[in-house]
Chain A
Amino acid sequence: MAIPLSYNFRNLRVRKTTTIMTALGIALTVAVLLGILAMVAGLRTSLQATGHPLHLLVMRKNSASELVSQITREAFMNIRLKNGIEKRADGEPMASAEIVTVMSLPRKNDPEGSNVTIRGLSRVGIGLRPGIRLTAGRWLVPGQREVMVGKSVAARFLNCSIGNTLYFGRGEWKIVGIFDAGKTAFSNEIWGELNQVAADFNRSEVLSSVLLRATDLMALQALKNSMADDQRLFLEGKSEVEYYAQQTATAAPVEFLGIFVAVIMAIGSSFAAMNTMYAAVVRRAREIGTLRVLGFSRGSILLSFVIEALLLSLLGGLLGILLILPLNGLESGTYNNITFSETGFDFRVTPLIMTIGLSFATIMGILGGLLPARMAAKQDILNALREL
């Protein structure tokens, strides 16, 4: 039987200052890692939640985003007549021509600001986003130079409340409504009426994209093939879900950097834990000798000290989770290098992320505890007993 756990718990409690300092070091490392993972998870959720499985986003071939895509109105007229597109109650095809551009807006916490996506769309386009909910004000009226802003934009950018005026294109635009698009990327956009936005940016004949809803998945694939096969149009169709999911690649550099920093910090924290455990082994040399005389094997001693290091690191892991939990649900944004605008997200500290944090702490504990535990186990009994 192993040396009782109470021996390790109480030893950690007895040297509480050292225990807390070491655990805090581990906690900060875990917090850095979890902060990054919570951000990436939030960003992924935001981008992966966007899109309808039956929607096809049509853009110019090889366009990475709607911003750089161009589709003529003539092409749009051809597209909307294709078979397999869902019809509205009035018989009109559910195909929305849209124009996407960006403008720089000052953020509430950063006057230099960031790019925000402006989407010009028609009522059909709004109808194609059934999850959209008006939370304040009213829907925009075409021809009135009115816009609506997503709730994430309203929350994070200056002068984006109802009644405020935005300046882009050829003049002023009045904010008349705030819409909630849930966790989707649309919450980060400003919406105006298609023809007015197009006219303001001198793009009346060249649009950005066409969003359409297929009648079913087979029709979606057929429409996709049809776009690819039609050499006159030089267009390609992409599943809307797939289009937004691809943008999660935006998070990759941040994720890599965060994990890299966390790993470097983890090496430092492992050394701190190792130092603490080496000190514990030296201070308790006579106890180790006594345990050996009582009949505990080298393996029991090794296991006991590894467990103690693990308890120490798990305490650090739990503290790290406690440090990061207040971030859960916090709204923030990051630059999306595909859309050249800011994508908002909520930090998400999920159970999986917390488990990763504890596992990370456990690895630090094992790395930091193994060598001191080995030293404890290998001690000569007589020498250990003679230690003061």
Chain B
Amino acid sequence: MDNHTVIETIDLRKEYKRDEFHVIALQKANLLIQQSEFVALMGPSGSGKSTLLYLIAAIDRPSQGRVRVLGQDLQELSDKAIAQWRNENIGFVFQTFNLIPVLTARENVELPLLLTGLSKKQRIEHAQTALKLVGLEDRMSHYPRQLSGGQEQRVAIARAIVTDPALILADEPTGDLDAHSAHEILTILARLNKEQNKTVVMVTHDPHAARFAGKIRYLEKGELLPEGSSPPI
């Protein structure tokens, strides 16, 4: 692993029990993602792409194998340390936006900053800057219910980048959006990758969305296909 490697997974395996069935969600996943790459993880439902993303984000723990992100072996961290690490290094974008409905756009974006040592004034300034970056400077005092789906997802992206993380992970970020809004969101992610050198890993099953990425990795039945290969049609 060199200094430019952001994500490295080695023989990653995730299995769980669902009722009496033993399910292997992911196996032998060896992934290497370099700094400033925009990688799309594609595959059908149940192929293990979201599982891989959650393992990279340390939202879930692997059954076997190792995950090393930004030089940190995630297995070595406690739950509490992982929470802090995630806050400092990862920006996460959900398919369903996951904004807090009782907080305004600005307050939602400010949330991750509450865990930093910034003053109230600094937090507000950072949140405003992030919202400007996604073109929502005129919607700062709006509640999520007062925004369109596309605008909500832009607020979610602002929240993901407000702490200036090196890595942005997006789980089907356009899955709940119309084509126009989806295009806007993908453009923003691509811009963050190109202009701010953010490493972006995006899970999608939409080939149109995947075209915004510089690299596509396919998963099938819990296995990560070799780089450059795609599943048979």
Which A residues form the contact surface with B (CB < 8 A)?
A: 1-4, 6-7, 10-11, 13-14, 286-287, 289-298, 381-382, 385
Closest to A14 in B: B102
Size of interface on B: residues with Cβ below 8 Å to A = 25
Closest to A2 in B: B114
Residues of chain A lying within 8 A (CB to CB) of residue B86: 293-295
The one of A6, A293, A296 that contacts B57, using a Cβ cutoff of 8 Å: A293
Residues of chain B lying within 8 A (CB to CB) of residue A287: 98, 100-101
Residues of chain B lying within 8 A (CB to CB) of residue A381: 59-60
The answer to whether B103 has its CB under 8 Å from any CB of chain A is: yes
Cβ-defined contact, B115 with A7, below 8 A: no
The answer to whether A7 and B102 touch (CB under 8 A), given A293-B57, A297-B83, A298-B79, is: yes
Closest to B103 in A: A7
Residues of chain B lying within 8 A (CB to CB) of residue A3: 114
Cβ-defined contact, B59 with A382, below 8 A: yes
Which B residues form the contact surface with A (CB < 8 A)?
A: 54, 57, 59-60, 79-80, 83-84, 86-88, 92, 94, 96, 98, 100-103, 107, 111-112, 114-115, 159
Closest to B99 in A: A290
Looking at B87, B98, B112, which has the most chain A CB atoms within 10 Å of its CB? Answer: B98
12 examples of A-B residue contacts, CB within 8 angstroms: A6-B103, A11-B102, A286-B98, A287-B100, A293-B86, A294-B159, A296-B115, A297-B80, A297-B84, A298-B80, A381-B60, A385-B98
Cβ-defined contact, A294 with B103, below 8 A: no
A37 nearest CB across to chain B (Å): 37
Query: In the bound complex, how far is the Cα of B59 from the Cα of A286, in angstroms?
Result: 14
Query: In the bound complex, how far is the Cα of B80 from the Cα of A290, in angstroms?
Result: 15
Residues of chain B lying within 8 A (CB to CB) of residue A293: 57, 59, 86, 92, 98
B107 nearest CB across to chain A (Å): 7
Query: In the bound complex, how far is the Cα of B59 from the Cα of A289, in angstroms?
Result: 10
Query: In the bound complex, how far is the Cα of B143 from the Cα of A6, in angstroms?
Result: 13
Query: In the bound complex, how far is the Cα of B108 from the Cα of A10, in angstroms?
Result: 13
Cβ-defined contact, B54 with A294, below 8 A: no
Residues of chain B lying within 8 A (CB to CB) of residue A10: 102-103
Residues of chain B lying within 8 A (CB to CB) of residue A298: 79-80
Closest to B88 in A: A295
Query: In the bound complex, how far is the Cα of B103 from the Cα of A370, in angstroms?
Result: 24
In the A-B complex, the 10 residue pairs with the smallest Cβ-Cβ separation, listed nearest first, are: A295-B87, A10-B102, A290-B98, A1-B114, A294-B112, A295-B115, A297-B83, A295-B83, A381-B59, A293-B92
Residues of chain B lying within 8 A (CB to CB) of residue A286: 96, 98
The one of A7, A13, A292 that contacts B83, using a Cβ cutoff of 8 Å: A292
B66 nearest CB across to chain A (Å): 20
Residues of chain A lying within 8 A (CB to CB) of residue B57: 293
Query: In the bound complex, how far is the Cα of B91 from the Cα of A328, in angstroms?
Result: 57
Query: In the bound complex, how far is the Cα of B102 from the Cα of A14, in angstroms?
Result: 8
Query: In the bound complex, how far is the Cα of B112 from the Cα of A292, in angstroms?
Result: 10
Query: In the bound complex, how far is the Cα of B171 from the Cα of A289, in angstroms?
Result: 14
A235 nearest CB across to chain B (Å): 74
Cβ-defined contact, A294 with B102, below 8 A: no
Looking at B79, B83, B114, B159, which has the most chain A CB atoms within 10 Å of its CB? Answer: B83
Cβ-defined contact, A291 with B80, below 8 A: no
Residues of chain B lying within 8 A (CB to CB) of residue A2: 114
Cβ-defined contact, A294 with B94, below 8 A: no
Query: In the bound complex, how far is the Cα of B86 from the Cα of A292, in angstroms?
Result: 9
Closest to B159 in A: A294
A7 nearest CB across to chain B (Å): 6
Closest to A293 in B: B92
Looking at B79, B98, B100, which has the most chain A CB atoms within 10 Å of its CB? Answer: B100
Residues of chain A lying within 8 A (CB to CB) of residue B101: 14, 287
Residues of chain A lying within 8 A (CB to CB) of residue B54: 382
Looking at A1, A4, A10, A295, which has the most chain B CB atoms within 10 Å of its CB? Answer: A295
Residues of chain B lying within 8 A (CB to CB) of residue A14: 101-102
Residues of chain B lying within 8 A (CB to CB) of residue A292: 83
Closest to B82 in A: A295
Residues of chain A lying within 8 A (CB to CB) of residue B83: 292, 295-297
Given pairs A14-B102, A293-B86, A294-B112, 5 additional interface contacts (CB within 8 A): A6-B103, A290-B94, A293-B98, A295-B83, A296-B83
Query: In the bound complex, how far is the Cα of B60 from the Cα of A381, in angstroms?
Result: 8
Cβ-defined contact, B100 with A7, below 8 A: yes
Residues of chain A lying within 8 A (CB to CB) of residue B98: 286-287, 289-290, 293, 385
B146 nearest CB across to chain A (Å): 14
A282 nearest CB across to chain B (Å): 15
B119 nearest CB across to chain A (Å): 11
A3 nearest CB across to chain B (Å): 7
Query: In the bound complex, how far is the Cα of B111 from the Cα of A290, in angstroms?
Result: 11
Residues of chain B lying within 8 A (CB to CB) of residue A291: 100, 111
Query: In the bound complex, how far is the Cα of B116 from the Cα of A296, in angstroms?
Result: 11
Residues of chain A lying within 8 A (CB to CB) of residue B114: 1-4
The one of A7, A295, A296, A382 that contacts B60, using a Cβ cutoff of 8 Å: A382
Query: In the bound complex, how far is the Cα of B54 from the Cα of A4, in angstroms?
Result: 26
Closest to A290 in B: B98
Residues of chain A lying within 8 A (CB to CB) of residue B107: 4, 6
Query: In the bound complex, how far is the Cα of B107 from the Cα of A2, in angstroms?
Result: 14
Query: In the bound complex, how far is the Cα of B112 from the Cα of A291, in angstroms?
Result: 9
Closest to A381 in B: B59
Closest to B115 in A: A295
Query: In the bound complex, how far is the Cα of B117 from the Cα of A1, in angstroms?
Result: 9
Residues of chain A lying within 8 A (CB to CB) of residue B100: 7, 287, 290-291
Closest to A380 in B: B60
Residues of chain B lying within 8 A (CB to CB) of residue A4: 107, 114
The answer to whether A294 and B59 touch (CB under 8 A), given A3-B114, A4-B107, A14-B102, is: no
